[in-house]
Amino acid sequence: MVVAAASIALVLVVVAVVGLLAPAQPSSSDSSQDASPGTNLAGITVPAQAAPPALAANPGPGFSGQVDLRWARDVAAATGIPERAVVGYAAGALGAEHYFPGCGIGWNTLAGIGRIESDHGRHGGGVIDETGLVLPLIFGVQLDGDGVQNIPDTDGGAYDEDAEFDRAMGPMQFIPRTWISWAVDANGDLNPDPHNINDAALAAGDYLCFMSGGMSTEEGYLAGIAAYNAGEAYLRNVTEAAQRYGDAAASATD
């Protein structure tokens, strides 16, 4: 994708994929993502994938209901990630492993992406409510071809509140046509929502697992992140954040 950012305060990074895909399995009409191939991966170290989250003794609805809240509080305190975002990333990793067994994605990788895309839903003063909804809603720039990709409206403004051009949206910055393909419910409310960090993180995890062919190898990991958003700077920022979060969480939960 053309839009990239070294700082969330300047511009939101846009997820880039075109295919018509189901949340867990690709359709025969899958086409490649918009992100440019051939990114130089030299010098980028793949982070260790964090251990699976602790599971709740009395699970609630959805994948987010499986996450132990005491564990999430400890990780939040150690990493500086909002507690509800930690739950969302953990739910995303659990759900992605459910839909793509053996993918090997860690919650810390989803957290690394969430840090770059929206500062874990805090961009513009955002706060995550008890359901996982990020308010106020987060939108990227209008994709009108002026220094960014030209993507005419694909959702009638239903998701991104723009009926002229698409905009990236939510804590994981999906564009509408991508969300329509990957929409999934992670918190058990039967309402897939790109502005809900639980749903958005699971959709991101599913997408990464599919595009990478598995996040447990260096080649697969780097391919997955590059497919989510192209550019060496993006890869480096995500991998460094993911490693930092994984290390901090391990120290706090040992």
Per-residue model confidence as pLDDT tens digits over 184-196: 999 999 999 999 9
Calculate helix-pair angle for 232-253, 218-228, nearest 10 degrees: 120
Q: Which whole number is the average pLDDT over 119-132?
A: 97
pLDDT at site 28: 25
User: What is the CA angle 237-254-202, rounded to 5?
Assistant: 45
pLDDT at site 6: 28
Average pLDDT, the chain: 86
How many structural domains is the chain composed of? 1
- 198 within 8 A of 187, measured Cβ to Cβ: yes
For residue 238, being part of any structural domain is answered with: yes
Q: Residue 186, Cα to own-chain centre: how many angstroms?
A: 13
97 Cβ neighbours under 8 A, 6+ residues apart? 52, 103, 104, 105
For residue 115, being part of any structural domain is answered with: yes
**Amino acid identity of 126?**
G
For residue 6, being part of any structural domain is answered with: no
Confidence band of 12 (pLDDT split at 50, 70, 90): very low
pLDDT at site 41: 58
For residue 241, being part of any structural domain is answered with: yes
The parent domain of residue 140 ranges over 64-253
- 99 within 8 A of 24, measured Cβ to Cβ: yes
For residue 246, being part of any structural domain is answered with: yes
| This prediction's pTM | 0.85
- CA separation for the pair 26, 70 (Å, rounded): 36
Cis peptide before 61 (omega within 30 of 0): no
- 146 within 8 A of 165, measured Cβ to Cβ: no
Query: For position 196, which CATH number holds?
Result: 1.10.530
For residue 3, being part of any structural domain is answered with: no
Q: Of the given ranges (87-96, 178-187, 197-206, 225-234), which has the lowest mean pLDDT?
A: 225-234
pLDDT at site 42: 62
